[in-house]
Structure 1
Amino acid sequence: MTRHNDTTQFDTEWTPAIDGTGKVLNTDSRWTIVSTSVSALIVGSIAWLAVSTMPPVTGGSVENASKGFLPYRLFQQLSQSSNNALFGNAPAEPALPAQQNNLDQNLAAERAQKPKSSIETHTVTLDAGDTLAGALENAGISADDANAAIAALSKVYSPRQLRAGLAFDITYNTKPDVSTTNNSSSDYEGDDISKGKAVQGEPIARLLSIKFSPSVEHDVTITRGDDGTFQATDTVKKLVPHVHRAGAAIDGSLYLSAMRAGIPTDVVGEMIKMFSYKVDFQRDLHPGDSFEVFYNYYYTPEGQAVRNGNISYAVMRLGDKQIVLYRYQSDPNAPAEYFDATGESAKGLLMKTPVDGARITSGFGMRFHPVLGFSRMHKGVDFGVPIGTPVMAAGAGTIAFMGWSNGYGRFVQVNHGNGYATAYGHLSRFAAGLHVGSRVGQAQVIAFSGNTGMSTGPHLHYEIRVRNEQVNPLSVKMAQGRKLSGKEMRAFQSERLRIDDQMAATKLETKVADATAAANFKSLSK
């Protein structure tokens, strides 16, 4: 009732003014004008705010571009709140959670569009003529990182010792591509990042580590510390020696028979050199002959065979003849030598054959000459070998002739002293760095076999000359090496007995198996 009286008084006070306009307005009409004016003022202010904060539209739907922008959603909330306040409409409760979900989704989508750095590991292999710094830069590593890593490496391993074919595992943290976060031009083009190549000289990665193994015994690692500097470490594997006593019957050739028995190639090669002064591998070997070798080999802790140690003992049983050799080193500063059971050196003045694995195609004596077409004296021995086979000096000496010599073609003569010389004909080329007057060692490669001069096929013509007279290389008696005596002889006999005892305690292997060897040495190393 009080409210009604107040309204009547208000109407009475306003009546003259309104009547002056010539129009009579009731109470509802007046409130309509007031509420409409206030609403228009509020809506106009909010609209101005919304327009000033709208994002630029570069293409696509205007609706999609603007509704995803936060001030626009704020404008919608303010508009709805003003309408509710003016007209008494209750706000819809589910509206706020829905808008919150849209906000979370937009934020998640924005984060997903941001580029993320990732750690990757790639393998880089040095090619001939490459440097490690160049290989790293080609992989996208900055020059500063590459040079800093190599500087750290040089403290534990010389970069000059790096060889072509060596593989490096590089780990790096890729840099984000900022071109995905704005509309400006990118520093990168196309798919160069995925290819590991930077455009305009910009590095694409931050180096974290480099790992490589220059040999089976070494593992080198270069890592970046928390302070950004690089540190290098060289982990040396402790190799474990294991002894083998292996042997087999000779079927065809010593080399092939030893390989079938599982004996490593380097051990076989060393054994052939040991007996090359005593055995003619072309003529002295027959079916039923056999061999045995006692040697040690080095393995990694994982059981991988790495390298040969030494042959302590070897024997060749050729018919009713047995040739036994023991390793003995009388002077620690001199190479070890091989002696028979009586202390006589296995080394002769000259080797039996100057090429490995050769077959005799023509012996010493009268023969029908295949080129001249008549019989004449063949003053040497021909070994049938492919062109390019290494030719070794049969003994230590001095090169007396190296060049072209009529029917011999390319020809070398080595003087060994005491009236002995050896000659090598039909060569394809000479070993680098040698010339007349050069000193050569026994078994040193001096040339390579060929087919030059008066020749019908690839082979080596080999001669032994005594006081300038050719003699039969297969029958000439050669001066033997030194024979031990006195204190040296007693020391050798002691070493020989030690080797015999060790060998007697080792089982004979007719097939050397790496797995068995690994298991054996692992049990020994515990």
Structure 2
Amino acid sequence: MDYRKLLHIPQNCFHKLVNNHLSLLGIAASLPLFGMATAFAVAQNGAQPAKPEVLQKEVTEQLSLPAFSFSESATRYWRDEAIQRGDTIARVLNRLGIRDSEANRFLHSSPLSKDLLKLKTGATVSVQTNDLGELFGLRFLNDDENGEQVLVAIEKVNGEWQASADPIATEAVQTVRSLPITRSVSAALAKAQVPRDIRAQLTEIFADQFNINSLGKGDRINLVYETLLYNGAPIAAGNLLAVEIKRAGKLHQAFYFAHDSESGAYYDAQGKPIKQGFSQQPVANARISSGFGFRKHPILRSLRLHSGVDYAAASGTPIIAPADGTLVKVERQNGYGNMVEIRHNQKMTTLYAHMSQFAKGARAGKSVKAGEVIGYVGSTGRSTGPHLHFEVRINGQAVDPATNALPTPGLSSTQLAEFKSGNRQLTAHLQLLRELPTNIALLD
């Protein structure tokens, strides 16, 4: 066989490919094959090369890794943990990797009642710790037997554990919300995480003018309300300071004005009352001695949400129904003492506590008229002296009686000037919210 002919094969192919421009694309793929054929021809023409001898050596050596050290910090920080069903304080601490035997011993012997140390599913417990797993404090909101909220605070001070009995200073900061209505009011409020008590206040402010649930797509709610901070963390909502509702192209505004340190009401931009309220108050000519909101409880010495208002009055002073309704409770309770509850409509109830005695014939199921006597001022239950504790609840949520039910007083010329002066900043907040594009408002 003439191997020289084999050497001409790639050359002939190359000339054919060059002459045919459609075959140029195949040159790159063909070159490796040509090299293989040429190498095969040369190899066959000479002697087989000897395979080099490969020497292998197996080496086994023990390698030592550098020492690893986890850098721990003694810096204290707060962690928030959601309370799950069946949780106890010990279980939450264990889940967080905190096993402080000294703290556990204090919790078992704490001066606080066992009921106050029970955790509510869905609530949040804040724990102060460090990377070493040491515990320095914890706090959470809880309800007592009367349904009033208390901030349970346990902390380590100067190396000693204690349950704080001092008043807890809270800082009020303004929170703004802009809620475009796309489906329903309740859905918009829930999406914006507006607190329950603010929602309850909102539903009642314009109740004399329209039902807030009548708002539909294209309407909008702008809110300015207080958020109460404790050590920089929000623990509750304060007053709803200003609200603006755009309904069917019309603006409705309301501004809160404090009459004194214990009570206030809502007025429009001109200072006219928004709500009529009840025609009478439960105790005639009595002053509110303690208002709605957070305060230091006079007996338990802890920060509590005062869920109503207190009227200072002498023992035996008549208590009247401020509006028509039906008695739903006439009974004695541990904290409230002798108490009466009246349902006025499908969503509103009122409660009267610490009575010395009930009115003659008062019983559950009986209808009462506005101005009818239902009992007398006393000091039964958990009370420091004769007074009436009065509550208003909307769909079961406690709200400020002064802004939701009691008669709204007109403003004097001095109060009106103070009202307009104080509203400048709130009006600016509402205007800013009004000008927010819808897509920006929805980002909150």
Bigger radius of gyration = 1
Measured against the shorter chain, the TM-score band is 0.3 to 0.5
- Greater RCO, 1 or 2 (C-alpha within 8 Å, sep 6+): 2
TM-score of the pair, normalised by structure 1:
0.35
Higher strand residue share: 2
TM-score between both structures, scaled by the size of structure 2: 0.40
